Structure 1
Amino acid sequence: MKKNARLLYLLTVWTFFVVFPSTAAPRFVDDENPPTASPSITYVLSMPEPQTHYFEVELQLKNSATATNAKKNGYVDIKMPVWTPGSYLIREYAKNVEAFTATSTGTDKIVPSEKIRKNAWRVYSTEDNLTIRYRVYANELTVRTSFIDIDHGYVTPASMFMYHDALKNLPHRVIVQPYKDWKVVTTALEPVSSPTARYAGFTYEAPDFDLLVDSPIEIGNQRTFGFTASNVPHTVAMFGDVYFDEQRLAADYKRVCEAAASVVGEHPCKQYTFIVHHIPQGGGGLEHLNSTTLETYRTAYSTETNYKNFLTLVAHEYFHLWNVKRIRPVALGPFDYENENYTHMLWLSEGCTSFYEDNILRRAGFHTPEAYLTIVSNDIGTIENQPGVRVQSAAESSWDAWIKGYRPNENSANTTISYYSKGSVLGTLLNLSILAGTNGERSMDDLMRYLYTEYYKKQKRGFTDEEFRKAAEQVAGRKLDDFFTIAVNSAEPINYNAYFEPVGLQLANVASKTQDGFLGAATSPANGKATVTSVRRGSAAYTDGLNVGDEIISVDGLRVGDDLLRFVSGRRVGDVLKVLVNRSGILRELSITLTQNPLASYRLQPLASQTPAQKALYNKWLFIK
């Protein structure tokens, strides 16, 4: 997932216009003549009153009593996932569920049921055929949650569909019954059809619950267009009132997608779907096996800077169809939907995807070599200017995603580092290590290809931390002790120039030397007051006792109001400020001695003299012909 990308078309007998990822028609379901007596799972998803923000779900279990041990136990346990893959936080989706009932299919006789855990319901029945109904409140439009209003509906399946453990590996069918004014359904799920049966809505089937969870659904009147990249049909569904040049956007999607596919050299999808939400604020994306959902501003296409930022998001989420969905640590599938799924390698899965987002735009021609070097320098500055980089390693950041990554507080910058930003830098360093170790014969691409072939295709599983390290060293042709011991698994400083020297560059801190003093506190100007929102570890504010939540009343006897900066600007290192604060209703005066500004500004610069080998490796690194 990220900052934060997956569709085709058919007119039905009810004049609904539905977008499918293939040209197959909607399925017609023959309830009177089931093909076999094996267990079946069908969800009917309806939305008769979208203005209330409710979806209605009907879960039909047929011939299931033996598979679920209902005849033996006297009950069936139905569960709701507590999180969704790609977003590493327990989200407690069951909090939005209400009106859970169970009936005997065909008779509508109520079957006793009760909630037994935060996300589990027990249905006391030994019957083969049960119908379970519930409602889901959906009023949070993000790529990780479901949403519905009068304009459209969006379904994150983990937040909508309950499951039974014993049935997870069986096919799951979904019948979507759109609100009466909506004509389009977009999803990467396979449509199914039978020309002799009764029309039952837009019907799709996933081979198992995992793929159902991995297939978001957009319902409404979204605009759609398609393109082909790497001989694979792609569909883009656009929700939101936004202007864009369809021809240009389709062409640029194609450039990004084909550049991404060149990394591994094989596209594993039969089709791919992008669902794009254009919203007033926020942004990001969530990857899926054959699709993605992107959220972006309505101004995403209004300027070249905004446009390139959007393409960066496209590249990130699209590359996840390889890295994470197929090239993955062992913890990232199959999933436990009730508990945290821990790994030390989100720096690889997410962070190296962030590395590739810019690498992909460079090889597609959207970034010049100079612009790419600036991006790399800025990435290093982002992590090195955060105090937490000396506290938390990339491996620890990955492991603690569940409790820290999605729950930052005012002290997070002092104690943590993002596995996205640190991982992006690590991707650059690992790529350079492989290039240098093989004299340009191999790169990070070769490592991705090896992992894809060996573990996804041959062994059909993820890899362990040790297997990844061995693969990286095998591709690099040498030991990578400094990279794994220092850069990945510790919070010690990284010797960046050891990585950049082989391509003829050095990393320099070009921040201007100034005598201006540094306070180290950020404030919010809300309500005409300067209230401290964060304090940087090791700064003057931190050492001399300024606290988050303090309202700064005055500096050296002068009333501050909401503009603290003008009272600090121009002061020198060693100057002492007399700061009066309101802390929990008590006035306190603090003496704060300003320190040297610790913030660096990095730039990659050519070495004074470069060898032909360094120049050749530089050109190889930056795709310069």
Structure 2
Amino acid sequence: MRKSAAPFLLALALPLAALAQAPVQYSLAFPNAVHHEARITVVFAEVPAAGPLQVRMARSSPGRYALHEFAKNVYDVQATDSKGQPLTVTRPDSYGWDVSGHDGTVRFTYTLFGDRTDGTYAGIDQRHAHLNMPATLAYARGLEQRPAEVKFELPTDWQVATQLRPDANGTYYAPHLQYLMDSPTSLGAQQRRTWQTLGRTIEMSVLHEGTAAELDAYVEQSKKVVQEAAAIFGGLPEYDFGRYTFVANYLPQTSSDGMEHRNSTSLTSNRPLRGAGALDNLGTVAHEFFHSWNVERIRPRDLEPFDFERANMSNSLWFAEGFTQYYGELLLRRAGIYTDEQYCQEALNGLVGAMLNSPGAARFSPVQMSQQAPFVDAAAAIDPNNRGNTYLSYYYIGGANALALDLELRQNHKTTLDAYMRAVWQQHGQTQRTYAPANPYTLTDLQRILGEVSKDTAFAGRFFRQHLLGHELPKFDQLLAPAGLLVRRAKAGQASLVARLSFNPADSTATVGSTLVGSPLYQAGLDREDVVRKIDGQRLTSAKALPELLAAHKPGDVLTVEYRTRGGIRTAPVTLAEDPTLEVVTYETARRPVTRAMKKFRAEWLSGKAKSFYPKPQPEDKDVSG
């Protein structure tokens, strides 16, 4: 057992009497918000006398799997006892402080700097504060099971948006540290829209610069997404404090992100709530809301409970994130936000193209891709890597397998992926205990349930063995054909180097990016940072010169490339390939005949389910506040 994890695991075993101990009290003020600072005070009362109090900042964050070392933005640390007397503070490691000599009370105060508004960090300025709690709040080892009370000292025009429970005394409540750290909070001039669906309160609390009409239209589209998601699972979850909150920040200074949480999601984007920006943002709404089932309540055992002091690795992100990626886009189609053609362009092209053209997908399994999350999920490193040839995001490899499984279940087993997700929900998500899943799943559980839903345990074993534990690629051309959808080359017959080259106007050269296994430049021996000087004897006089040159050739033509590598100036013959970009189009677009069976299959797959799920109009599905 790792030393860093031991205190946390011991905390889980505390007797129930520990729950009656004094809550941890937080106070957040923003006297220097213009310079991105918050002043935070934490009061730990009834602290055990034995040894120093070990105060820590999280090193990782729920929904993220890499280390982020949030202590790097903490300074001006002070600690006093109940009488205001200074206490001794030492640094045992890079992310903690040990406080000695206390009288049972420790008042721990620090300054937090935060200037990145997204789902992982803290963004503070004179307009707002968008706070991911692991990046914001210090905690004490051994006190993880105590409730927390949070008070925000706010400018007069700021309001609070959070999944924390508001209490009558102006504070916000979390039952324990896991819930507290899972509760993103937005502070600012909120614009709120609240409605009821299936007896649940849903609210969208938004910071944006657009009009009220734009927000109203955006909320109407979001309502459709919520209804379609509920139809998949047969209802909405029991939200712990009676509501689900979209904590949304669409101000210009924000970074695009979405981060799932138990009763809320953090949505950040600098794109406005109109036009293409609204559509892009709705995709995040759909993806994150689906997470309120998948990964928040339907949770892999290897992520439960989350450990804030280390990188958290899971074998199941292909399911937790990848299947959610599939459903996020599917919800937009079922809600009528996408047409069939848009769904192909916005969703299927990416999944099918990435899966079939990625070298990594052909050599590593979705389970192995999931295990890479601590190295790729917003992880920072400065050394080059070879992920272009070894990695495909678990979002895409999982989403592509979800697509393949859904189509295979529909074609060969008279059931659907919707039915599979409902069964997983019923067995591993519906029952919750102490704000956590009572029965988190394993890979074995997911395979077993697939066998039950398909009524074919041999098929379930084979699918897992070949596609999830193995890396056999789905046959998308065969799987999509019954829906009247065609997989084809988007640029058939066009010659390509299958490489990214950055034009250098200073000397009419082009720098090579990472070369993919099997691509023309890889085969010819060129590598990253090599500089192409001439192709077919010609200088590249502009960024348009290369596509113009290639347009005069066909796949299979051999061109001489002169380039500068680490070994000097060299030349090599390069055989052009056909552009590998794939697209999925409807048979109508491809001008192929579409049968009645194809139309029926496609409609049963892509059409909205909410109307059949709601037996009659829902009078409660309306605004209850503005």
Q: Specify the TM-score bucket, using the shorter chain as the normaliser.
A: 0.7 to 0.9
The change in CA–CA distance for 1:383 and 1:184 in structure 2 (over 3 A counts) is same
Which runs of no fewer than 5 residues in structure 2 stay unpaired? 1-18, 432-436, 613-626
Q: CA deviation at 1:210?
A: 1.0
SS at match of 1:186: strand
- Aligned equivalent of 1:431, options 360, 382, 406: 406
Q: Is the 8 A contact 1:397 1:405 kept in 2?
A: no
Q: CA deviation at 1:283?
A: 1.6
Q: Distance in 1 between matches of 2:248 and 2:255?
A: 13
SS at match of 1:490: coil
Q: Is the 8 A contact 2:484 2:599 kept in 1?
A: no
SS at match of 1:357: helix
Question: Is 1:382 the equivalent of 2:354?
Answer: yes
Q: Distance in 1 between matches of 2:34 and 2:581?
A: 50
Q: Is the 8 A contact 1:576 1:591 kept in 2?
A: no
Q: Distance in 2 between matches of 1:527 and 1:204?
A: 57
The change in CA–CA distance for 1:365 and 1:142 in structure 2 (over 3 A counts) is same
Question: Is 1:231 the equivalent of 2:231?
Answer: no
Q: CA deviation at 1:517?
A: 3.7
Q: Distance in 1 between matches of 2:476 and 2:444?
A: 24
Partner of 1:103: 80
Partner of 1:593: 574
Report 1:532-551 matches (<5 A).
Answer: 532-551=512-531
Report 1:153-172 matches (<5 A).
Answer: 153-172=129-148
Report 1:72-471 matches (<5 A).
Answer: 72=50, 74-105=51-82, 107-178=83-154, 180=155, 182-194=157-169, 202-243=170-211, 244-267=213-236, 268-269=238-239, 270-280=242-252, 282-301=255-274, 303=275, 305-374=276-345, 375-407=347-379, 411-439=386-414, 442-458=415-431, 460-471=438-449
Letter in 1 for 2:134: A
Partner of 1:622: 606
Q: Distance in 1 between matches of 2:570 and 2:551?
A: 20
Q: Is the 8 A contact 1:326 1:456 kept in 2?
A: yes
The change in CA–CA distance for 1:163 and 1:411 in structure 2 (over 3 A counts) is same
Q: Is the 8 A contact 1:227 1:250 kept in 2?
A: no
Partner of 2:563: 581
Q: Distance in 1 between matches of 2:539 and 2:348?
A: 42
Per the normalisation by structure 1, the TM-score is: 0.84
Q: Show CA shifts across 1:69-94 (max 9, x none).
A: xx23x211111111111122211111
Q: Distance in 1 between matches of 2:175 and 2:427?
A: 24
Q: CA deviation at 1:55?
A: 1.3
Partner of 2:622: none
The change in CA–CA distance for 1:583 and 1:282 in structure 2 (over 3 A counts) is farther
The change in CA–CA distance for 1:477 and 1:611 in structure 2 (over 3 A counts) is farther
Q: Distance in 1 between matches of 2:428 and 2:187?
A: 36
SS at match of 1:166: coil
Question: Is 1:565 the equivalent of 2:547?
Answer: yes
Q: Show CA shifts across 1:400-434 (max 9, x none).
A: 11113445956322211111112112112222333
Q: CA deviation at 1:217?
A: 1.1
SS at match of 2:302: coil
SS at match of 2:306: coil
Q: Distance in 2 between matches of 1:291 and 1:307?
A: 20
Q: Is the 8 A contact 1:285 1:295 kept in 2?
A: yes
Q: Distance in 1 between matches of 2:183 and 2:504?
A: 42
Q: Is the 8 A contact 1:240 1:298 kept in 2?
A: no
Q: Distance in 1 between matches of 2:387 and 2:598?
A: 39
Q: CA deviation at 1:358?
A: 2.0
- Aligned equivalent of 2:34, options 39, 47, 51: 51
Partner of 1:493: 473
Q: Show CA shifts across 1:580-603 (max 9, x none).
A: 43446x751321322322504243
Q: Is the 8 A contact 1:433 1:476 kept in 2?
A: no
Q: CA deviation at 1:333?
A: 2.4
Q: Distance in 2 between matches of 1:216 and 1:121?
A: 24
Letter in 2 for 1:94: A
Q: Distance in 1 between matches of 2:247 and 2:483?
A: 42
The change in CA–CA distance for 1:275 and 1:506 in structure 2 (over 3 A counts) is closer
Q: Is the 8 A contact 2:117 2:255 kept in 1?
A: no
Q: CA deviation at 1:380?
A: 0.6
SS at match of 1:457: coil
Q: CA deviation at 1:257?
A: 0.9
Q: CA deviation at 1:276?
A: 1.8
The change in CA–CA distance for 1:155 and 1:566 in structure 2 (over 3 A counts) is same
Partner of 1:64: 47
Tell which deviates more after alignment, 608-617 or 95-104: 608-617
Q: Is the 8 A contact 1:388 1:413 kept in 2?
A: yes
Q: CA deviation at 1:145?
A: 0.5
Q: Show CA shifts across 1:151-191 (max 9, x none).
A: 2111100111112232111211111112x354312212111
Which runs of no fewer than 5 residues in structure 1 stay unpaired? 1-35, 66-70, 195-201
Q: CA deviation at 1:127?
A: 2.2
SS at match of 2:301: coil
Letter in 1 for 2:26: Y
Q: Distance in 1 between matches of 2:586 and 2:126?
A: 54
Q: Distance in 1 between matches of 2:461 and 2:486?
A: 21
Q: Is the 8 A contact 1:76 1:125 kept in 2?
A: no
Q: Show CA shifts across 1:218-264 (max 9, x none).
A: 11223333233333222222223234523322222211111111111
Letter in 2 for 1:589: R
Q: Is the 8 A contact 2:42 2:107 kept in 1?
A: yes
Letter in 2 for 1:569: A
Q: CA deviation at 1:97?
A: 1.2
Letter in 2 for 1:127: D
Q: Distance in 2 between matches of 1:75 and 1:603?
A: 62
Q: CA deviation at 1:460?
A: 0.9
Q: Is the 8 A contact 1:410 1:534 kept in 2?
A: no
Question: Is 1:41 the equivalent of 2:19?
Answer: no
Q: Distance in 1 between matches of 2:160 and 2:597?
A: 55
SS at match of 1:255: helix
SS at match of 2:63: coil
Partner of 1:509: 488
Q: Distance in 2 between matches of 1:498 and 1:134?
A: 60
Partner of 2:615: none
Question: Is 1:524 the equivalent of 2:502?
Answer: yes
Q: Distance in 1 between matches of 2:282 and 2:245?
A: 16
The change in CA–CA distance for 1:548 and 1:512 in structure 2 (over 3 A counts) is closer
Alpha-carbon RMSD: 2.8
Per the normalisation by structure 2, the TM-score is: 0.84
Letter in 1 for 2:202: H
SS at match of 2:104: coil
Q: Show CA shifts across 1:10-58 (max 9, x none).
A: xxxxxxxxxxxxxxxxxxxxxxxxxx98332101111111112111111
Q: Show CA shifts across 1:303-337 (max 9, x none).
A: 2x443332221111111111110011112321111
SS at match of 2:139: coil
Q: Is the 8 A contact 2:558 2:576 kept in 1?
A: no
Q: Distance in 2 between matches of 1:429 and 1:133?
A: 53
Letter in 1 for 2:373: A
Q: Distance in 2 between matches of 1:37 and 1:310?
A: 42
